[in-house]
Amino acid sequence: MAAAKKKDSLGLVVRPMRRTGSQVATSLFLGKPNTVLYPYQKLELPIGYRGKHIVDFKRCIGCSNCVQICPNDCMWMEKLEDPELGKIERPGVDYGRCLFCGLCVEICPTVAIHESVEFELASGERSRLKYGPKELRDDAFAGKVKEERQKRLLPILDMSKCTSCEKCAGECPEMCIAMMPIESVGRTKPEINLGRCTSCKKCEAVCPENALKMEEVYESYFEMPEPKFLLKMCTGCGACARACPADVIYMIDMPGTEKVLKDGKKGKPKKRAVFILEKCVGCGKCFRACKFEALEWPGVRK
Amino acid sequence: MAEMWINMGPQHPMTHGLWNLRVKVDGETIVDAQPEIGYLHRGIEKLCEGKSYPQIIPLADRLCYGSSLTWSHLYCMAVEDLMRVEVPERAEYIRVLTIEMQRIVSHLMWLAAYAGDLGLAAGFVYTMRDREVFLDLFQSLTGARITYNFPRIGGVAHDLPPNFERDSLRALSYFEGRLKEYEDMFEGSKIFMMRNVDVGILRKEDAINLGVTGPTLRASGVTYDLRKDVPYSVYEEMDFDVATHKDCDCYARYRVRMDEMWESCKIMRQALQKMPKGKWRIVAPRNAPVGTGLARVEDPRGEGVIYVVGDGSERPYRVKIRSPIFVTVSAAPKMLIGYKLADVVAIMGGLDMCIGETDR
Amino acid sequence: MNLFEFCYGIIHWLVDLVNHLWYWLGDLLPWWFGDFFDAVGDFAASQGHLSVMTILLEVVVVVVIALINVLNFLWIFRKFMARMFDFYGPYYVGYRIGGWLQNLADGIKLFVKEIIVPAKADKMGYLLAPVIFVGSSILILATIPFSVDFGVSTNKSGDYVPAGALFALAAFAIAPFSILLAGWASNNKYTLIGGMRSAAQMMSYEIPLLMTVASVFLLAGSFGFVDIVNAQHDMWFGIPLFIGFIVFLVCLAAEVEIIPFDLPEAEAELVEGWTTEYGGMRFGLFYMTTTVRSYAGGALATALFLGGWQGPSLIPDEIWFLIKAYIVFVVFQWMTWSLPRVRVDQILGLGWKRLLPLAIINLMIAVALKSMGWF
């Protein structure tokens, strides 16, 4: 498509000037210029625009996945006291460092953080660029933004109510539930293959203790790492269960481990941690909380 | 007048980016040239070693901020090669669509800077205005205008928004009309041709020996385009020509880039037509196996290569980036010697320097 | 009535007022002082001194009008360029008059900037160059009249400068010297190159300029502006001497240094060319003076080729003159923003190889017309 080089002398002045002259006529008489008289007129931004973050305090579980994935270390978790929600930890953002990349939005397991269309964040001092969680709070943003992640209705297990009756495993038409033994406890717990679940809700209906509840779970595109549990190092202290934001760990009694006390009575049995890994969000708080090296985290060498 | 060394840069309106060009002039004629780079070194390769694989994607965007999608896509291709991950087909088509749109955007910015340097201020403003049309498309697709953070390991981040096809076809037909006007305005202007024809000649043998790639090589008559010779993604199914020109001067480089913009429009239309339905992203593993991954891509400025070494953890052991402008800059003295000082602008502008990728 | 008579009336009235006070004061003093006072008062109010003061007032009036026109030019330049580039231009400062006050605001901003003199610059040359540049450019306006009645040195009373146009062109040609001086004295390689280029360009474009003007002088039969304009009462000189008009416009563009001939000041290569080392209001003076030169060039083109102040008499002559000068300016701006820069050896080639033969052809046409008795 190489065009021949035009060598005529009209091209000295006339041809380019005709182009710009028609542009002057267009923007003077046939319409308005292309620019927008900011700040009196503003541009309309599309809904997917990545601007200031908004955090839904009710959806957020305080797992700090967003803080860990931020490429530039812009976020931090702040401990707050909320009248409704009690003692919580919610994220804040330092806009002096934020790239507006949107990775924190993608990795959030409960779609609790989102980037809104607001972009006018400039200020005169660097310290005012740090936005704490209270300034980012917007508890009803879910209705205003376009949600892209698919959600599914999946059965979530509450181990404190489970009696190992094995009725759910028998009822599931897709054979998603398998009862796996818990080491040294003598009971079994249902392990659900969430990939095959069709949300038919039969397991929820048949469970006599209401230990299986159907909840809406968002699909995640990042592979969430899961901790590996070493039973012989576990002392049953329960630090991991307290640290977990997603209710994954349940401390269960190990029967047969009661110590005999001095006055002949039997003491309390030792506990061990039981993991319901379908709920795990991969935040790593349990790994950091355990002081007895009972948990292994993938990718971290001993 | 005696010979003297002149420093063009590092603070200079002509040098797009932060680099220094020392020329030795005898009156107005250039006798020797020495480019000096390294002012924008940010240590990106070292930064990559401390971040996990998804965290490096926004960093790869900022390698060359003029055409950022190419570099993040190249990085994702290299990591997918390392992790042996198959990308779904819809994701491949979306990638091709956005890469060609990015090529148009990058070439428009080159044209704006080129025209502005030569004194044609109207050229600068018109091309920037038309670039906005594509940036708006990108904004509705990814949420940002320059550094998109769009490709992911295992696909792309979002699906196409509703009405995207209609909007892009409208943008393409508007843009093809404007391309004709630009050809009229630039090539029809005799002064523009006087500044570009027979200026900055780089012969075919010199270009091949110096390792130059991209539009500069194709303007010297060598038909070498990675999209045709070493096809990646779904380029094998696209029907397009490789733009070459046999004069080796600045006009040839300008012409090659204009032709590339026409071809990109063609490829975009085909990608929109052939786009299959399906998933646009799959879950990629978090830890990489011990091994290496390599990917090559046709950047708007030449051939870019990324080489990733994994060591079993979630962070790479080494990321090596090869930038095309790093090589072309060293070819610059060959093109400069013997021409006038006023030609430096035309010649160096024709190479489309983006210092972000040169200095990393 | 004449500009001279108008200003004379004002001065006379003013001097009368001051003299009344002076004599009254002299009467209050003792006799040996009073005589001295009266003698000074008579001396100051004598005819010669009144004429001198009148001429000073005329100069002030003309310079003020020129500067206001420069502000107008700058406003048109920015608005026209903006509409060509599809944006608004100055909008907020002076909101109701279309942003006219923006240039005043920019001028005030330049006043408050820090003025730095480079340490190794040649002080004498550095400080002298703006003086020569500004002075010689305003000197051009001395002999250009707006109409028969309105001019500093072209009044009807017979003592006008007989070679007005020649003087204007001579003053126009002093500037290259000051540009070279500014470029050299700044102790900077960029400015040196800019100054050299500018000197070469202006020198080579003076010759076709003067040859086209020579053809106008030939047809008009005199060197003075009033005679030239009066000789155009049948037909403007731009029509038979069309080639000359085009050559004159091109040479004017090269003299005033606008794109496409703006290489001495090429932003992309030389930052600001020969004005790089000047800051604050010194730079503002240079910028303003290039606009004064384009205003003076437009006025020259109007007077020499476009019939000066002749036009239907429903608008006064001075306004016609200004309208024509503005039209020339707008055409220049249109050309500026549509064309790329020409390289310096191509500029010189254009000047010597293309414009000089055209100017000679134009001169021959003028000789032919004159000898046929048409003018």
Q: What's the pLDDT score for residue B25?
A: 85
Q: What is the mean pLDDT of residues B193-198?
A: 85
Q: Would you call B55 exposed, middle or buried from its count of C-beta atoms within 10 A (0-12, 13-18, 19+)?
A: buried
pLDDT > 80? residue B222: yes
Q: What's the pLDDT score for residue A150?
A: 78
Question: Is the minimum CB–CB distance between B149 and chain A shorter than 8 Å?
Answer: yes
pLDDT > 70? residue B65: yes
Determine whether the interchain pair B312/A299 forms a contact, defined as Cβ–Cβ distance below 8 Å: yes
Q: What's the pLDDT score for residue A8?
A: 55
Rounded Cα distance between C151 and C58, Å, is 8
Q: How many domains does chain A have?
A: 3
| C-alpha torsion sign, points C301, C302, C303, C305 | positive
C50 φ/ψ sector (left φ>0, alpha ψ -120 to 50, else beta): alpha
Query: Per the domain annotation, does A102 fall within a domain?
Result: yes
Domain boundary among A183, A204, A221: A221
Query: Per the domain annotation, does A239 fall within a domain?
Result: yes
If DSSP codes are grouped into helix, strand and coil, which group holds residue C136?
helix
Q: What's the pLDDT score for residue B259?
A: 92
Scanning every residue of chain B, which has its alpha carbon at the shortest distance from the alpha carbon of A34? B129
Q: List chains adjacent to chain B, taking adjacency as at least 3 C-beta pairs closer than 8 Å.
A: A, C
> For C241-251, how does the pLDDT look when each residue is reduced to its tens digit (9 = 90+)?
888 888 898 88
Determine whether the interchain pair C335/A35 forms a contact, defined as Cβ–Cβ distance below 8 Å: no
B260: pLDDT confidence band, cut at 50, 70 and 90?
very high
- Yes or no: say if A72 and A102 are a contact pair by the CB < 8 Å rule: no
Q: Would you call C309 exposed, middle or buried from its count of C-beta atoms within 10 A (0-12, 13-18, 19+)?
A: buried
Q: List chains adjacent to chain C, taking adjacency as at least 3 C-beta pairs closer than 8 Å.
A: A, B
CB contacts < 8 A (A, B): 114
pLDDT > 60? residue C8: yes
> For A63-109, how does the pLDDT look when each residue is reduced to its tens digit (9 = 90+)?
888 898 899 889 999 888 888 888 888 899 999 899 898 888 888 88
C271: pLDDT confidence band, cut at 50, 70 and 90?
low
Q: What is the mean pLDDT of residues A191-197?
A: 80
> Across the interface, which of C262, C269, C339 has its CB nearest the CB of B189?
C339
Determine whether the interchain pair A24/C82 forms a contact, defined as Cβ–Cβ distance below 8 Å: no
Question: Is the minimum CB–CB distance between A20 and chain C shorter than 8 Å?
Answer: yes
> For A212-256, how does the pLDDT look when each residue is reduced to its tens digit (9 = 90+)?
888 888 888 888 888 888 888 888 888 888 888 888 888 888 777
Q: What is the mean pLDDT of residues B249-257?
A: 91
> For A258-267, how does the pLDDT look when each residue is reduced to its tens digit (9 = 90+)?
777 777 777 7
Question: Is the minimum CB–CB distance between A182 and chain B shorter than 8 Å?
Answer: no
A47: pLDDT confidence band, cut at 50, 70 and 90?
confident
Domain boundary among A82, A110, A143: A143
Q: Would you call C84 exposed, middle or buried from its count of C-beta atoms within 10 A (0-12, 13-18, 19+)?
A: buried
Q: What's the pLDDT score for residue A88?
A: 86
> Across the interface, which of A23, A35, A37 has its CB nearest the CB of C84?
A23
pLDDT > 90? residue C284: no
Question: Is the minimum CB–CB distance between B162 and chain A shorter than 8 Å?
Answer: no
B100: pLDDT confidence band, cut at 50, 70 and 90?
very high
Sequence length of chain A is: 302
Determine whether the interchain pair B345/C269 forms a contact, defined as Cβ–Cβ distance below 8 Å: yes
Query: Per the domain annotation, does A297 fall within a domain?
Result: yes
- Yes or no: say if A109 and A63 are a contact pair by the CB < 8 Å rule: yes
Alpha carbon of residue B178 to chain centroid: 21
Q: What's the pLDDT score for residue B93?
A: 92
Q: Which residues of A touch C338 (CB under 8 A)?
A: 13, 16-17, 19-20
Q: Which residues of C touch A35 (CB under 8 A)?
A: 86-88
Q: What's the pLDDT score for residue C272?
A: 59
C341: pLDDT confidence band, cut at 50, 70 and 90?
confident
Question: Is the minimum CB–CB distance between C348 and chain B shorter than 8 Å?
Answer: no
Domain boundary among A143, A159, A177: A143
Determine whether the interchain pair A71/B152 forms a contact, defined as Cβ–Cβ distance below 8 Å: no
How far off is chain A from C370, nearest CA to CA, in Å? 31
B214 φ/ψ sector (left φ>0, alpha ψ -120 to 50, else beta): left
Q: What's the pLDDT score for residue C43?
A: 74
Determine whether the interchain pair B194/C343 forms a contact, defined as Cβ–Cβ distance below 8 Å: yes
Q: Return the structure tokens found at A269.
A: 């049995």
Q: What's the pLDDT score for residue B342?
A: 79
Together in a domain, A139 and A183: no
Q: What's the pLDDT score for residue C58?
A: 83
Name which of B15, B30, B118 to mutate to probe chain C: the one with the most chain C Cβ atoms within 10 A of its Cβ: B118
Determine whether the interchain pair C341/B6 forms a contact, defined as Cβ–Cβ distance below 8 Å: no
Rounded Cα distance between C143 and C161, Å, is 8
Comparing A270-274, B288-292, B330-334, the range with the smallest average pLDDT is A270-274
- Yes or no: say if B85 and B285 are a contact pair by the CB < 8 Å rule: yes
CB contacts < 8 A (B, C): 79
The owner of tokens 């600045």 is B250
Question: Is the minimum CB–CB distance between C62 and chain B shorter than 8 Å?
Answer: no
Q: What's the pLDDT score for residue C51?
A: 79
Alpha carbon of residue B69 to chain centroid: 9
Determine whether the interchain pair C84/A16 forms a contact, defined as Cβ–Cβ distance below 8 Å: no
pLDDT > 80? residue A9: no
Q: What's the pLDDT score for residue A6?
A: 44
How far off is chain A from B336, nearest CA to CA, in Å? 23
CB contacts < 8 A (A, C): 39
- Yes or no: say if C54 and C4 are a contact pair by the CB < 8 Å rule: yes
How far off is chain C from A28, nearest CA to CA, in Å? 7
Percent of chain B with pLDDT strictly greater than 90: 31
Element (H, E) at A225: none
Beta A212-218 vs A86-94: how paired, if at all?
unpaired
> Across the interface, which of C80, C86, C334 has its CB nearest the CB of A33?
C86
Q: What's the pLDDT score for residue B134?
A: 92
Together in a domain, A211 and A238: no
Question: Is the minimum CB–CB distance between B206 and chain A shorter than 8 Å?
Answer: no
How far off is chain A from B337, nearest CA to CA, in Å? 25
Chain A, window 42-61: residues with a beta carbon less than 8 angstroms from a chain B beta carbon: 45-46, 48-50
pLDDT > 60? residue C174: yes
Query: Per the domain annotation, does A37 fall within a domain?
Result: no
Q: Return the structure tokens found at A204.
A: 């929820």
Q: What's the pLDDT score for residue A2?
A: 36
pLDDT > 60? residue A130: yes
> Across the interface, which of C83, C86, C338 has its CB nearest the CB of A16?
C338
Q: Which residues of C touch A22 (CB under 8 A)?
A: none
Q: Where are the domains of chain B?
A: 44-324
Chain A, window 35-94: residues with a beta carbon less than 8 angstroms from a chain C beta carbon: 35, 37
pLDDT > 90? residue A30: no
Together in a domain, A190 and A231: no
Scanning every residue of chain B, which has its alpha carbon at the shortest distance from the alpha carbon of C84? B122
Q: What is the mean pLDDT of residues B177-196?
A: 85
CATH number, domain of A240, equals 3.30.70.20
Determine whether the interchain pair C268/B344 forms a contact, defined as Cβ–Cβ distance below 8 Å: no
Q: What's the pLDDT score for residue C375?
A: 67
How far off is chain B from A291, nearest CA to CA, in Å? 23
What angle is formed at CA B346 by the lines to CA B342 and CA B350, rounded to 5 degrees? Answer: 160
pLDDT > 60? residue B13: yes
- pTM to 2 decimals? 0.88
Scanning every residue of chain C, which has its alpha carbon at the shortest distance from the alpha carbon of A16? C338
pLDDT > 60? residue A5: no
Question: Is the minimum CB–CB distance between A100 and chain B shorter than 8 Å?
Answer: yes
Q: Which residues of A touch C337 (CB under 8 A)?
A: 20
Comparing A230-234, B169-173, C150-154, C230-234, the range with the smallest average pLDDT is C150-154
Q: What's the pLDDT score for residue A3?
A: 39
Q: Higher model confidence: residue B205 or residue A14? A: B205
Mean pLDDT of chain A: 81
Element (H, E) at B251: helix B250-274
Query: Per the domain annotation, does A6 fall within a domain?
Result: no
| C-alpha torsion sign, points B347, B352, B355, B360 | negative
How far off is chain C from B132, nearest CA to CA, in Å? 13
Question: Is the minimum CB–CB distance between C349 and chain B shorter than 8 Å?
Answer: no
- Yes or no: say if A80 and A55 are a contact pair by the CB < 8 Å rule: no
Chain B, window 285-304: residues with a beta carbon less than 8 angstroms from a chain A beta carbon: 285-287
Q: What is the mean pLDDT of residues B281-302?
A: 89
CATH class held by domain B44-324: mainly alpha
Percent of chain A with pLDDT strictly greater than 70: 92
Percent of chain A with pLDDT strictly greater than 90: 2
CATH number, domain of A168, equals 3.30.70.3270
Determine whether the interchain pair A48/B286 forms a contact, defined as Cβ–Cβ distance below 8 Å: no
Percent of chain C with pLDDT strictly greater than 90: 1
Give the residue numbers spanning the domain of A137.
53-143
A193 φ/ψ sector (left φ>0, alpha ψ -120 to 50, else beta): beta
> For A159-178, how does the pLDDT look when each residue is reduced to its tens digit (9 = 90+)?
888 888 888 877 888 888 88
Q: What is the mean pLDDT of residues B307-313?
A: 89
Scanning every residue of chain C, which has its alpha carbon at the shortest distance from the alpha carbon of A19? C338
Measured in degrees and rounded to the nearest 5, phi and psi for residue A79 equal -85, 125
If DSSP codes are grouped into helix, strand and coil, which group holds residue A125?
coil
